[in-house]
Structures are given as structure tokens and as C-alpha cells.
């Protein structure tokens, strides 16, 4: 019985003889919730991984904007302040990405390296920027792991069923049909 290979996996394994179910299915060995599985073609999977990495980078940049706004508002004061305060507020207000904020905070450290109060006032903002870059870089790296959560696939059972009994088989054909029946029972 020669069954055509599914386009999704034919380039992966040249010995594949069964159709693979593409779509959502439940891998009951992992349970109802964790077993929810999406099987898609390799090309679509590559696109999904690339989109996921891009989306994580996009969310990371937006997270920095929200966090820097929160820090800016938290540290805001109507009382007169010194130059370090104003520089920090400008950086928090105007830096669009965490890596640009790190660079500017590093320049501030260098410029104000003789001031003892700088460390306590700028360090939390600097650590927040480093945390944002580190967290979302690691998350972007792990985004490729969505394709390897499970290596199991669901074989499409549309061609499964009983062998026709419309005629009596003799000899080699009977042995072959009998062997296929035993294999099917063992598989079940």
C-alpha cells in the first residue's frame, strides 16, 4: 500500500509512509491542557518561530517604554532638584530603547563619577534597563523552543479501516492480509 507523503514532513524524513494530521489535536499522554498541540508544515513553522522572536522583541521595547514612564513618574518632584535628577528624568523620558538608556546612564556615571549620590539615584534605572534587555533577549532565544515542545505527531487515520472481505484470498495474498491484521491489532 503506497500512501502519498504529506508535504509538511516529506523533506524531513524520506522514509515517512503515512499522512500527518495538520492542525490542532490533543496529545493525551500530556493531559488535556498541556497536550494541546498544533502541527503545521515546516515552512509555516519557520515563519511562526520568526514571528514569535520579532513579537518578543517588540514587546520588550514597549515594556521598556512603560517601565521607564513608571520610573519617571515615581521619581518626579515639584521641588527644585539638582542636575543629576534632571538628567535621569530626561533619559527616562526620552530613551526609546533600553540599550540606548544603558549607554546614556553609563555616560552619566562617567561624568558624575566623583559624586557619591549618583549611584543610589541612577542605579535602579540602570538596573531596570539591563533587566529589560537581558530578560527579553533570553525570551527571544527561547522562542525557538516552541517547535520542540513535543516531537510526536498525529498520523492521519483517514485510510485506516478493515480490509475488504469481498473475495476469498488464497496463498501469499492471504498471508499478507493476515500479517497486516496482526500488525493492526498490535498497534491498537
What is the residue range of 91's domain? Answer: 64-140
In a domain, 26, yes or no: no
Q: Is residue 86 part of a domain?
A: yes
- Residue 80 domain flag: yes
Q: To 10 degrees, the CA torsion angle through 58, 123, 77, 60?
A: 10
Q: Does residue 125 sit within a domain?
A: yes
Give pLDDT tens digits for 3-36.
444 555 555 554 456 677 788 888 888 888 888 8
Q: With 0-12 CB in 10 A as exposed, 13-18 as middle and 19+ as buried, what is 159?
A: exposed
**Tally of domains in the chain:** 1
18 is written with which cell numbers?
503515512
Q: pLDDT digits over 36-61, tens only?
A: 888 888 888 888 888 998 999 899 98
Using only the alpha carbons of the chain, give its radius of gyration: 30
Is residue 44 domain-resident?
Answer: no
pLDDT at 130 over 70: yes
Q: How confident is the model at residue 160 (pLDDT cuts 50, 70, 90)?
A: low
User: Is residue 89 included in any domain, yes or no?
Assistant: yes
* Domain presence at residue 174: no
pLDDT at 142 over 90: no
Taking a C-beta distance cutoff of 8 angstroms, is the pair 52, 146 a contact?
yes
> What percent of the chain has pLDDT above 70?
78
Distances (CA, A) of 127 to 94, 98, 104, 133: 17, 10, 13, 10
pTM of this structure: 0.63
Q: What is the mean pLDDT of the chain?
A: 80
Range among 44-53, 54-63, 159-168, 172-181 rated most confident = 54-63
| Residue 85 grid cell | 535628577
Burial of 72 (0-12, 13-18, 19+ CB in 10 A): middle
Residue 152, domain member (yes or no)? no
Amino acid at each position: 500500500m503506497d500512501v502519498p507523503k504529506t508535504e509538511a514532513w516529506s523533506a524531513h524524513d524520506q522514509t515517512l509512509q503515512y499522512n500527518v494530521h495538520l492542525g490542532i489535536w490533543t496529545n493525551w499522554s500530556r493531559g488535556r491542557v498541556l497536550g494541546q498541540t498544533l502541527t503545521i508544515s515546516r515552512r509555516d513553522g519557520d515563519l511562526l518561530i520568526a514571528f514569535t522572536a520579532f513579537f518578543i522583541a517588540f514587546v520588550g521595547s514597549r515594556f521598556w517604554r512603560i517601565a521607564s514612564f513608571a520610573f519617571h513618574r515615581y521619581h518626579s518632584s515639584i521641588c527644585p532638584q539638582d542636575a543629576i535628577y534632571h538628567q535621569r528624568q530626561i533619559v527616562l523620558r526620552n530613551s526609546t530603547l533600553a540599550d540606548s538608556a544603558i549607554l546614556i546612564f553609563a555616560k552619566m556615571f562617567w561624568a558624575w563619577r566623583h559624586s557619591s549620590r549618583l549611584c543610589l539615584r541612577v542605579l535602579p534605572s540602570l538596573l531596570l534597563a539591563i533587566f529589560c534587555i537581558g530578560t527579553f533577549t533570553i525570551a527571544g532565544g527561547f522562542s525557538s523552543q516552541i517547535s520542540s515542545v513535543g516531537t510526536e505527531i498525529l498520523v492521519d487515520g483517514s485510510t485506516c479501516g478493515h480490509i475488504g472481505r469481498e473475495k476469498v484470498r488464497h496463498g501469499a495474498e492471504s498471508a499478507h492480509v493476515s500479517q497486516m491484521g496482526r500488525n493492526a491489532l498490535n498497534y491498537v
